[in-house]
Chains A and B, each alone.
Chain A
Amino acid sequence: MDKGDDILDKTWDILDQWEDKRPPRRLKHSIMKRVRPEKKYYLPFHLSPVYSMLIILVLVIMGVSYLKFDSTKEYNQHVPDTRMASREDSVEITSPDIIAKLEIIENIDMLKVLDQLENIDHLSITPEDDQSSIILVRGSV
């Protein structure tokens, strides 16, 4: 080891003379005091899957109970209607009433088309009697 290295080593060793300082007694207390307000927001986040599962479960239960309530309400509203309908069914209806209630096609174009169809004269209309006679002839054979 040469002289230069020896000086460097001595320098390094002499640095030990600057000893550690004792931290103030209040330091730990101050740290804990500063940490305390943070604890208010401290939630064990490693349990977050459990929290989320619980939230989902509660939401599902609420949803199911709401749907159940809704369907019951709907059923209760429909019950009087059906009763009324059954009462109406029991009323005697005459054929003129039925005819009067039938929906009449009032489409003018439709009526025009029907008229045109009636007035077509160049179509050969085979009389029903001829058809029946043919069938009869075949049957006899």
Chain B
Amino acid sequence: MSFDDPDVQLMLKVKEGDDKAFEKIVKKYQKAIYNFAFRLLTNEADAEEITQEVFLRVFKSSLHYEPKAKLNTWLFTIAKNLCLNRIRDNKFSMSFSINNDKMNYEIPDTKLNPITSLESKDLREAIREAIVKLPLTLRVPVILCKYHGMTYAEAGEILGCSENAIKLRIMRSKEILSKFLKDFL
């Protein structure tokens, strides 16, 4: 990583205890991280909480910051990990409640044809539902590459896989999404 990179400069200032520099980082990336979390979790409160947690972790880690990776990549890696943990926790707590409390939760019907259920909804809602229906291994690369302008290599770095793996996942996602959104094409 080049020391001339403005993000690196900001992080080095944060390391020295510069509050203003940290505020600049928050201002620059809060929208991206919030939207990434929101698209993954589809819950505003969770997205807000995750965004706060991401920046808190960045601040704590700034003491040992070394300009090895791009700040952008680092932020999204933390956000991705936190979101996946949240999804896992939510699934666990839901199944735990069902098993233990014998309560009736509204579980989405996977047998329902997605195309017919989307017909009456507007395009934005249809896209949201289609992306949410993607498995996580496909959903994250789509969000990173489509909505955050990441290259396959950058997305691969965040997800810990190769550029080619991301390329294939994007291709697969396109195929699935085209089926879900057939009525809008």
Contact = CB atoms under 8 A, between A and B. Distances in A.
> On chain A, which size bracket covers the interface?
20 to 34
A7 interface: yes
A140 to B, nearest CB: 101
Given A24-B48, A31-B51, A31-B56, A11 B63 contact: no
Per DSSP, are chain A's interface residues mostly helix, strand or loop, or mixed?
A: helix
Contacts of B177: 11-12, 15
Given A14-B185, A21-B38, A23-B31, A35 B175 contact: no
Contacts, number: 96
> On chain B, which size bracket covers the interface?
35 or more
Interface in A1-30: 7-8, 10-12, 14-24, 27-28, 30
Interface string B24-66: 0011001100110011000010001001100110011001100
Contacts of A15: 127, 131, 142, 146-147, 177
B23 interface: yes
Contacts of B34: 21, 23, 27
Given A23-B51, A28-B26, A11 B174 contact: yes
Contacts of A22: 31
B94 interface: no
B127 A17 contact: yes
A46 B12 CA distance: 11
A16 B131 CA distance: 12
B26 A32 contact: yes
